[in-house]
């Protein structure tokens, strides 16, 4: 199989999957040592029971978006991304996010950089309604090298939330005929940045103003990941309980396949992607199948609801100030495929390919 542009940019997802399988093989026996898990490994967040409480746990980082921050000498938004990547996974299992810990590894400790990161973390916490209750800083100059001298850093979070007794969402309740509703992203978010950088930064400088973006390349790449906690809260407050929620990150709409039910998804409407995706696709000569596999392409979160709730769910989501659309329908399919009918693509396993291909 030909190597993808994403792999050429330095991210080989097939190799990562093989490595992850080896890791999971070694750590799976630990599931018998402590708190019992209530959801299989591979969901957006882990769920354990601690006495009467169901607790959801997740961890994620900002990734190579930090390289853009280092090049731009601008760190005041990446903390939002750190919070977002964690709380957006928590809400996928029905959890209310409560708190977050951060881990900051640096080549050197720069007070101004730390202050900027703190500004972003605080703003993200405000949007998500979580407390940042602690964390860890590690100075590891022998391990990290930055895009600028002394600028190497990695920012990771770990979040915790609680799930009501009857509130676990794992997708097992999804039935054929249920509606798939998409919620807009704010742009690239924090996935596919390696490929975005490879394409855009060979043609533009970070401070290049791009008319389509209505801002500079650097500002567009650093646009923070949208936090979807208010949207999920609005659905709950209006009596709408999703049967599945998917955070659309790496693998794009293939994240719908994480549902427990033996269903596939017919996606019959896709919103127009934001200009940054068009630029990456055209300038990098990347085919649409790979774009759909790597990027969110304008849809940052999906909810699957009963058909009877679809129109009201869209109204409620739009009332929060985020555009939302009816994307398609759950269908009976033991192979659990995702069809993008407008583009002639079908998703199996970890990638989209041409239908019939």
**Confidence at 355, pLDDT banded by 50, 70, 90:** confident
In this predicted model, which residue has the larger pLDDT, 118 or 13?
Answer: 118
Domain C-terminal end among 132, 163, 194: 163
Q: Does any domain span residue 14?
A: no
Residue 350: per-residue pLDDT? 83
Is 69 found in the same domain as 206? no
Q: Does any domain span residue 262?
A: yes
Domain C-terminal end among 163, 198, 230: 163
Which domain covers residue 308, as residue numbers?
A: 179-354
Is 184 found in the same domain as 220? yes
Q: Does any domain span residue 296?
A: yes
Is 140 found in the same domain as 220? no
Is 191 found in the same domain as 130? no
Going along the chain, which residue ranges are E strands? 46-50, 53-61, 96-106, 131-139, 153-163, 179-184, 209-210, 215-216, 244-247, 263-267, 299-305, 324-332, 338-340, 345-348, 351-354
Residue 255: per-residue pLDDT? 96
Is 309 found in the same domain as 236? yes
Q: Does any domain span residue 12?
A: no
Whichever domain contains 330, its CATH number is 3.90.650.10
Domain C-terminal end among 128, 163, 198: 163
Q: Buried (b) or exposed (e) across 22-57, using 16+ Cβ within 10 A?
A: eeeeeeeeeeeeeeeebbeeebbbbbbeeeeebbbb
Averaged pLDDT, 160-164 = 96
Q: Does any domain span residue 72?
A: yes
The answer to whether the predicted template modeling score (pTM) of the entire model surpasses 0.85 is yes
Residue 335: per-residue pLDDT? 94
**Confidence at 338, pLDDT banded by 50, 70, 90:** very high
In this predicted model, which residue has the larger pLDDT, 269 or 150?
Answer: 269
**Confidence at 10, pLDDT banded by 50, 70, 90:** low
**Confidence at 207, pLDDT banded by 50, 70, 90:** very high
**Confidence at 314, pLDDT banded by 50, 70, 90:** very high
Q: Does any domain span residue 1?
A: no
The share of the chain scoring above pLDDT 70, in percent, equals 96
Q: 233 pLDDT exceeds 80?
A: yes
Is 280 found in the same domain as 139? no
Query: Nearest to residue 127, comparing CAs of 170, 189, 66, 80?
Result: 80
Q: 90 pLDDT exceeds 90?
A: yes
The share of the chain scoring above pLDDT 90, in percent, equals 82
Residue 1: per-residue pLDDT? 44
Number of domains in the chain: 2
Q: 179 pLDDT exceeds 50?
A: yes
Is 219 found in the same domain as 153? no
Is 339 found in the same domain as 261? yes
Given a contact cutoff of 8 angstroms between Cβ atoms, the answer to whether 40 and 89 are in contact is no
Is 207 found in the same domain as 130? no
What would the pLDDT profile of 31-62 be if each residue is shown by its tens digit? 777 777 878 777 889 999 888 889 999 999 99
């Amino acid at each position: 199989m030909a190597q993808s542009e994403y792999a050429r940019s330095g991210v080989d997802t097939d190799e990562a999957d093989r490595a992850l399988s080896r890791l999971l093989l070694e750590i799976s026996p630990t599931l018998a040592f402590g708190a019992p898990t209530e959801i299989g490994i591979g969901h957006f967040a882990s769920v354990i029971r601690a006495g009467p409480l169901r607790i959801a746990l997740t961890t994620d980082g900002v990734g190579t978006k930090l390289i853009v921050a280092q090049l731009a000498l601008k760190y005041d938004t990446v903390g939002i991304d750190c919070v977002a990547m964690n709380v957006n996974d928590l809400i996928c299992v029905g959890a209310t996010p409560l708190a977050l810990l951060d881990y900051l590894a640096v080549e050197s400790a720069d007070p101004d950089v730390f202050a900027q990161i703190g500004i972003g973390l605080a703003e993200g916490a405000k949007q998500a309604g979580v407390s940042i209750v602690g964390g860890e800083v590690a100075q590891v100059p022998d391990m990290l090298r930055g895009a600028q001298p002394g600028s190497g850093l990695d920012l990771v979070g770990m979040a915790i939330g609680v799930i009501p007794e009857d509130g676990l969402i794992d997708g097992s309740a999804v039935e054929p005929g249920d509606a798939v509703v998409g919620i807009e992203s704010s742009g690239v978010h924090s996935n596919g940045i390696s490929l975005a950088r490879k394409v855009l930064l060979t043609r533009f400088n970070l401070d290049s103003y791009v008319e389509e973006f209505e801002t500079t390349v650097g500002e567009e790449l650093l646009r923070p990941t949208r936090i979807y906690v208010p949207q999920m809260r609005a659905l709950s407050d209006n009596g709408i309980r999703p049967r599945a929620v998917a955070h659309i990150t790496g693998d794009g709409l293939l994240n719908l396949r994480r549902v427990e039910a033996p269903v596939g998804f017919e996606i019959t409407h896709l919103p127009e992607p934001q200009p940054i995706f068009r630029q990456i696709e055209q300038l990098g000569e990347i085919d649409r199948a790979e774009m759909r596999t790597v990027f969110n392409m304008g849809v940052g979160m999906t909810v699957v609801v009963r058909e009877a709730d679809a129109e009201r769910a869209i109204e409620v989501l739009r009332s929060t100030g985020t555009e939302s659309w009816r994307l398609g329908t759950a269908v009976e399919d033991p192979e659990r495929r995702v069809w993008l009918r407008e583009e002639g693509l079908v998703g199996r396993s970890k990638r989209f390919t041409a239908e019939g291909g």
